[in-house]
A and B are shown apart, each in its own frame.
Chain A
Amino acid sequence: MVAPRRFVGVLPALGVVLIWAFLAAFLVYPLVRIFYDAFSDETGRLTLVNFVEFAGDHFYRRSLVNSLLLGLGTVAATSVLGFAIALLLVRYDFPGRNLFGYLTLIPIISPPLVGVLGFTFILGRAGTVNVLLEDWLGLARPINFVYGVHGVLLVETLHLFPMITLNVVDALAKIDPALEEAAESVGARGWRKLRTITLPLTTPGYVAGALLVFIWTFSDFATPLVLGVHDLLASQAYLNIVQFVDRRLFRMGIVISALMVVLAVVFLVAARRYVAIKDYSSLSYSRVPRRRLAWPGQVAAVAFLASVMALSFVPYLGVALASVGKGWSLTPFPVQYTGAYFERVIVETPKYVINSFLYSTLAVVVCIAVGVPMAWILARTRLPGRETLDALNTLILAIPGTAIGIAYVRAFHFDVPWLDVRLTSLWLILPIVLAIRRLPYTVRGSFASLLLVPRSLEEAAASVGARGLRSFADVTLPLIWRGVLVGSLFSFMTSLQEASAVLFLSLGGWETIPVGIFAFYIAGSANEAAALGVILILVAAVSVIVINRVAGARMGGMFG
Chain B
Amino acid sequence: MSLDIADGELFTLLGPSGCGKTTLLRVIAGFHAPDGGEIHFGRRRVDGLPPYERNIGMVFQNYALWPHMTVRGNVTYGLRLRKLGAAEIGRRLTAGLAKVNLTGLEDRYPGQLSGGQQQRVALARALVLNPDILLLDEPLSNLDAKIRVQVRSEIRTLQQDLGITTVYVTHDQEEALSLSDRVAVMRDGHVQQVATPRTLYERPANRFVADFVGTNNFIPGICKEQTGAAAVVETALGPLRALRVADAPAVPAGERCVLAIRPENIALDAAGVDGIEGRVRLSAYLGSTLRYEIETAPGLVLRVDVRDPSRHEALPPGRAVRLGVPASAALMLRDE
Footprint of B on A, CB under 8 Å?
1-5, 454, 456-457, 459-467, 470, 474-475, 478-479
Which residue, of A1, A454, A457, A462, has the highest number of chain B Cβ atoms within 10 A?
A1
User: Knowing that A5-B32, A465-B78 are A-B contacts, what are 10 other residue pairs whose CB atoms are under 8 Å apart, sorted by A's residue number?
Assistant: A2-B23, A2-B27, A454-B64, A457-B66, A459-B31, A459-B64, A460-B58, A464-B78, A464-B81, A466-B78
CB distance from A165 to the nearest CB of B (A): 31
The answer to whether B61 has its CB under 8 Å from any CB of chain A is: yes
Q: Mark B146-175, 1 if CB is under 8 A from A, else 0.
A: 000000000000000000000000000000
Q: For B68, give the chain A residue with the smallest CB separation.
A: A478
Residues from chain A with a CB closer than 8 A to the CB of B57 are 463-464
Inter-chain CA distance A4–B27, complex, in Å, is 10
The answer to whether B16 has its CB under 8 Å from any CB of chain A is: no
Asked if B35 and A459 sit within 8 Å, CB to CB, the answer is: no
Inter-chain CA distance A474–B126, complex, in Å, is 17
Q: For A4, give the chain B residue with the smallest CB separation.
A: B32
Inter-chain CA distance A416–B203, complex, in Å, is 79
The answer to whether B115 has its CB under 8 Å from any CB of chain A is: no
Q: Which of A2, A454, A463, A466 contacts B32 (CB 8 A)?
A: A2
The answer to whether B8 has its CB under 8 Å from any CB of chain A is: no
Asked if B33 and A3 sit within 8 Å, CB to CB, the answer is: yes
Asked if A464 and B52 sit within 8 Å, CB to CB, the answer is: yes
Footprint of A on B, CB under 8 Å?
20, 23, 26-27, 29, 31-35, 50-52, 56-58, 60-62, 64-68, 77-78, 81-82, 122, 125-126, 129, 189
Asked if A460 and B20 sit within 8 Å, CB to CB, the answer is: no
CB distance from B148 to the nearest CB of A (A): 20
Residues from chain B with a CB closer than 8 A to the CB of A466 are 52, 77-78, 81
Asked if B32 and A3 sit within 8 Å, CB to CB, the answer is: yes
Residues from chain A with a CB closer than 8 A to the CB of B56 are 463
CB distance from A82 to the nearest CB of B (A): 34
Q: Which of A1, A460, A475 contacts B34 (CB 8 A)?
A: A1
Q: Which of B51, B81, B125 contacts A470 (CB 8 A)?
A: B81
Inter-chain CA distance A470–B81, complex, in Å, is 9
Asked if A1 and B189 sit within 8 Å, CB to CB, the answer is: yes
Asked if B27 and A456 sit within 8 Å, CB to CB, the answer is: no
Residues from chain B with a CB closer than 8 A to the CB of A460 are 58, 60, 64-66, 122, 125
Asked if B52 and A456 sit within 8 Å, CB to CB, the answer is: no
Q: Which of B26, B64, B81 contacts A457 (CB 8 A)?
A: B64
Residues from chain B with a CB closer than 8 A to the CB of A462 are 31, 50-52
Inter-chain CA distance A467–B52, complex, in Å, is 7
Q: Which 5 A-B pairs have the closest CB atoms?
A: A464-B78, A456-B64, A460-B64, A2-B32, A465-B52
Inter-chain CA distance A466–B50, complex, in Å, is 10
CB distance from A7 to the nearest CB of B (A): 12
CB distance from A466 to the nearest CB of B (A): 6
Inter-chain CA distance A467–B49, complex, in Å, is 12
CB distance from B56 to the nearest CB of A (A): 6
Q: For A6, give the chain B residue with the smallest CB separation.
A: B33
Residues from chain A with a CB closer than 8 A to the CB of B67 are 479
CB distance from B70 to the nearest CB of A (A): 13
Which residue, of A461, A464, A475, has the highest number of chain B Cβ atoms within 10 A?
A464
Asked if B77 and A456 sit within 8 Å, CB to CB, the answer is: no
Residues from chain B with a CB closer than 8 A to the CB of A2 are 23, 26-27, 32-35
CB distance from A12 to the nearest CB of B (A): 14
Asked if A1 and B35 sit within 8 Å, CB to CB, the answer is: yes
Residues from chain B with a CB closer than 8 A to the CB of A478 are 68
Inter-chain CA distance A454–B66, complex, in Å, is 10
Asked if B77 and A463 sit within 8 Å, CB to CB, the answer is: no
Inter-chain CA distance A1–B78, complex, in Å, is 30
Inter-chain CA distance A470–B58, complex, in Å, is 18
Residues from chain A with a CB closer than 8 A to the CB of B77 are 461, 464, 466, 474
Which residue, of B51, B126, B129, B189, has the highest number of chain A Cβ atoms within 10 A?
B51
Could you name 21 residue pairs across A and B whose Cβ atoms are closer than 8 Å?
A: A1-B35, A2-B26, A2-B27, A2-B33, A3-B32, A3-B35, A5-B31, A454-B62, A456-B64, A457-B64, A457-B65, A461-B77, A462-B51, A463-B56, A463-B57, A464-B129, A465-B52, A465-B129, A466-B52, A467-B52, A470-B81
Inter-chain CA distance A349–B31, complex, in Å, is 59
Q: For A481, give the chain B residue with the smallest CB separation.
A: B68
Inter-chain CA distance A4–B66, complex, in Å, is 23
Q: For A463, give the chain B residue with the smallest CB separation.
A: B58
Q: For B57, give the chain A residue with the smallest CB separation.
A: A463
Asked if B51 and A463 sit within 8 Å, CB to CB, the answer is: yes
Residues from chain A with a CB closer than 8 A to the CB of B33 are 2-3, 5
Inter-chain CA distance A343–B26, complex, in Å, is 66
Asked if B34 and A464 sit within 8 Å, CB to CB, the answer is: no
Inter-chain CA distance A470–B82, complex, in Å, is 12
CB distance from B283 to the nearest CB of A (A): 34
Q: For A467, give the chain B residue with the smallest CB separation.
A: B52
Residues from chain B with a CB closer than 8 A to the CB of A3 are 32-33, 35
Q: For B73, give the chain A residue with the smallest CB separation.
A: A474
Residues from chain A with a CB closer than 8 A to the CB of B34 are 1-2
Which residue, of B20, B60, B62, has the highest number of chain A Cβ atoms within 10 A?
B60
Q: For B74, give the chain A residue with the smallest CB separation.
A: A460
Asked if A463 and B81 sit within 8 Å, CB to CB, the answer is: no
Asked if A456 and B81 sit within 8 Å, CB to CB, the answer is: no
Residues from chain A with a CB closer than 8 A to the CB of B66 are 457, 460-461, 475, 479
Which residue, of A460, A462, A467, has the highest number of chain B Cβ atoms within 10 A?
A460
Inter-chain CA distance A148–B125, complex, in Å, is 68
Asked if B35 and A479 sit within 8 Å, CB to CB, the answer is: no
CB distance from A133 to the nearest CB of B (A): 59
CB distance from B164 to the nearest CB of A (A): 15
Inter-chain CA distance A460–B34, complex, in Å, is 20
Q: For B79, give the chain A residue with the smallest CB separation.
A: A464
Residues from chain B with a CB closer than 8 A to the CB of A5 are 31-33
CB distance from A276 to the nearest CB of B (A): 26
Residues from chain A with a CB closer than 8 A to the CB of B122 are 460
CB distance from A510 to the nearest CB of B (A): 42
Which residue, of A463, A466, A470, has the highest number of chain B Cβ atoms within 10 A?
A463
Inter-chain CA distance A454–B126, complex, in Å, is 18
Quick one: given A3-B32, A3-B35, A5-B31, are A463 and B52 in contact (CB under 8 Å)?
A: yes
Q: For B78, give the chain A residue with the smallest CB separation.
A: A464
Q: For A464, give the chain B residue with the smallest CB separation.
A: B78
Residues from chain B with a CB closer than 8 A to the CB of A457 are 64-66
Asked if A464 and B60 sit within 8 Å, CB to CB, the answer is: no
CB distance from B14 to the nearest CB of A (A): 18
Q: For B52, give the chain A residue with the smallest CB separation.
A: A465
Residues from chain A with a CB closer than 8 A to the CB of B58 are 459-460, 463
Residues from chain A with a CB closer than 8 A to the CB of B50 are 462, 467
Inter-chain CA distance A474–B57, complex, in Å, is 19
Residues from chain B with a CB closer than 8 A to the CB of A456 are 60-62, 64
Q: For A3, give the chain B residue with the smallest CB separation.
A: B33
Inter-chain CA distance A478–B77, complex, in Å, is 14
CB distance from B195 to the nearest CB of A (A): 23
Which residue, of B26, B52, B56, B82, has the highest number of chain A Cβ atoms within 10 A?
B52
CB distance from A338 to the nearest CB of B (A): 51
CB distance from B177 to the nearest CB of A (A): 27
